[in-house]
Chains A and B, each alone.
Chain A
Amino acid sequence: MEKIASKTLAITATKARLLGLDAVHTAASGHIGGSLSAIDAITTLYFGVMNVDPKDPKNPDRDRFVLSKGHCTPALYPVLALRGFFPIEDLKLFRSIKGHYSGHAEMRHVAGVDMSTGSLGQGISAAVGMALGGKLNKKDYRVYAVLGDGEIAEGQVWEAAMSAAKYGLDNLCAVVDVNGLQIDGATKDVMPSEPLDKKFEAFNWNVIKVDGHDYDALLKAFEDAKACKGKPTAVLMKTTKGKGVSFMENQAGWHGKAPNDEQYEQAKAELEAKLAELEGK
C-alpha cells in the first residue's frame, strides 16, 4: 500500500470525530471520550494500513479489525462510514431502535464490523482466533485489535496474550489505547496497569510504544509490527482521552456521557475550525 499523507489522515480523522460527536449527540448517549482517543489509530488502520474492500466486506483474504474496547463505536462506525462500508447518513441511527447501529460493535448487521464486542476482554480472544485461522488457512492477512488500558485489568486479556504467544501469531497486532482514564477515574488509581511494556514483553510479545495521535508514527509502528516475525505485537499508544475537544480532554467524566446542545455546538465549532485549518480554507 502506498504511504498515505499524514495530512490526509488528519482530515479524515477530524471528519470522523465530527461524525462521532454528532452521532453521540443525536443519540443523547454513547462513549465519546475513549472514541476520541482511539480514532486517530482506527483512521490510520482503515485508510493507511488495512487491506479491506467496502464492496466485499466478508472477503476471506481481508485484514481483520476487532474493537475489543467495543463501546468505542463513535470512533469505529464513522470511520467505517467514511471508508464506504455504509452510508454516512446511517450514523443518525446510532443507538436508535429504528436502526441496527447498536451501542457496542455488532457484526451481524453493521457492514465492516468483524466481531461483536462490548464485554471487555473478549475481543482480543476473538482476534487470536482470527489470527489462528489465518495461519491454518495459510493466508497472509493481519488482525488488529484495539483495547483500552482500563480493559487490561480483565484476566481474559492475559489468557489471550499467553495463547497468542504460544502459537507465534505474528499476524496479530494488539493496539492498546493508553489514555490513562477509565469510568471511575485515573487508571493508575482504579487498577494500575503499568508497566504495560514489561507485562507484554514478559508474555513474549513484541512491544512498540508510540504517540497515538501522530499519524506518521502510527504508520511506522504498524509497519514495524508487520516486520516482526514469530510473535505478536502490542502497540502501546499514548493518547489523550477526549482528544480534539478542549473541554473533554483528559476528563474521565466524558467516558460515557453525551454533550448537551451547548457543549455539542462548542465541540463542533472546535472540530470544524480544525478541519478548515487542515483543508487550508
Chain B
Amino acid sequence: MAGKIATRAAYGEALCELAEKYPELVVFDADLAGATMTKGFAAKYPERFFDMGIAECNMTGVAAGLSTCGFKPFTNTFAIFASGRAWEQVRNSIAYPHLNVKVIGSHGGLSVGEDGATHQCIEDFALMRAIPGMKVLCPCDGNEMKLAVEALLNYDGPAYMRLGRSAVDIVTDEIPGYKFELDKGAVLADGSDVTVIATGIMVQMALKARELMAAEGVSVRVIDMHTIKPLDEDLVVKAAKETGCIVTSEEHNIIGGLGGAVAECLSEKCPTPLVRHGVNDEFGRSGTAAAVLEAYKLTAEGLCEKIREALRKK
C-alpha cells in the first residue's frame, strides 16, 4: 500500500467498503460529515446515514436505542465532543447496558493544529478508559484503521476509537508478520535495549526514533498499541522483562491514557523504569499541526530524549 493518508480518510473509505458486507452498519454524524469523512458513506448509503445536527448527546443516545433493534451504529464527531460533551451518554446509555455502539472521535490530539486548544482533545483515552467495559482504540495508519473498522463490526459491544486529522505514512502494510488483532498490541520492530509503546501518529514517530537511536548504538523495540483498553499486558510485561525499560508515546495527556495504563500494569506486574512521552498536563494551542507537535516535542527527536532518559534509569 505505502503512501500517506489520514486515518479519518481511511476510516471513511472503510465504511463504504464494508457497507455491503455488513448491512446492519449505520452511520451517525453531528454536522461534521465533511471532516469526519463519513460524507462518502452518506452519499452512497443515504438511507443508512443520519445527520443529527450539532447535538452530540442526542446522537449518542439515539444510536444506543437503534442498536437495540439489531443495527450496528457508528457515531461520528470530533474526539473532544464524542468523549467529552457526550461522555455521560456514552457511559449511561451505551456502556452501562453494554450496547453495540461504536463511538468514533475524529481529530484527536494536538495535530488538529490551527483550531487550537478547544478542539485538540488530549483527554479522550483517559475519559473513555475510565468507563467499565469500554474498549479504546487508536490505530496508527490507514491500513490498520481499515482492519480496525472491520474488527469493530465483528465485536458486539461498546468501543471508542480515535481518528487523526493529518495524513500519516502507511507503515503497517510493510511489516513482515503484521496482523491486526483486537486487544493485542503489534511488535512493529524488534529491539533489545528499550521498548517504545506508542499509539496513533506516535507509532510512525517511534519508528523514526528507532532509526535515530540506532545511530547511537541503541536497539529500540517498537510496539504499536492500537488497542489501549483492554491493554495487552502480556506484551507489555514481556517487553519490560526483555528490554529492561519502557517509554510510552501518545498524542494525549501523560495522565490517564496509554502512559497511565502501562504504568498501572508495570507497577503491579513487573516494576520497570518507565518514561511517559506525551502532553505534559497542559492545553494545546493554535499552529500548523507540525508546528504544534514540534512545540510540544511530540516528534521523533522529542521521543529520543525520553528514550535516553529511560536508558539512564535502567
Contact = CB atoms under 8 A, between A and B. Distances in A.
7 contacts: A107-B97, A122-B61, A125-B65, A126-B64, A132-B50, A133-B71, A156-B61
Contacts of B96: 116
A247 B47 CA distance: 53
Interface stretch (B52-60, B118-126, B220-228): B52-60
B65 A132 contact: yes
A119 B92 contact: yes
A129 B65 contact: yes
Contact of B60 (A106, A125, A136, A166): A125
B98 interface: yes
B88 interface: yes
B52 A163 contact: yes
A162 interface: yes
Interface residues of B, number: 29
B172 interface: no
Interface string A55-84: 000001000001000000000000000000
Contacts of A42: none
Interface in B50-83: 50, 52-53, 55, 57-58, 60-71, 73
Interface string A147-190: 00000000110011011001100000000000000000000000
Contacts of B286: none
B68 A108 contact: no
A266 B55 CA distance: 47
A114 interface: yes
A129 B62 contact: yes
A20 B49 CA distance: 42
Contact of B69 (A66, A108, A130, A163): A130
Interface in B23-68: 26, 47-48, 50, 52-53, 55, 57-58, 60-68
Nearest to B98: A108
Contact of A162 (B48, B55, B67, B97): B55
A115 interface: yes
Interface in A121-138: 121-134, 136-137
How extensive is the interface on chain A, given as a class? 20 to 34
A119 B52 contact: no
A121 B50 CA distance: 20
A126 B62 contact: yes
Nearest to A141: B69
B89 interface: yes
A244 interface: no
Contacts of B288: none
Given A108-B97, A108-B98, A116-B97, A159 B65 contact: no
A133 B65 contact: yes
Contacts of B73: 129
A172 B70 CA distance: 18
A132 to B, nearest CB: 6
B66 A130 contact: yes
Contact of B66 (A60, A129, A155, A159): A129
Nearest to A154: B57
A118 interface: yes
A130 B71 CA distance: 10
Given A126-B68, A136-B69, 18 more contacts: A60-B69, A108-B97, A115-B64, A116-B92, A122-B57, A123-B61, A125-B57, A125-B64, A125-B65, A126-B61, A129-B64, A129-B68, A130-B66, A133-B66, A156-B55, A159-B57, A163-B55, A163-B58
A163 B53 contact: yes
Contacts of B71: 133, 136
B219 interface: no
A133 B58 contact: no
A156 B58 contact: yes
B93 interface: yes
Contacts of B93: 115-116, 119, 122, 125-126
A132 B53 CA distance: 16
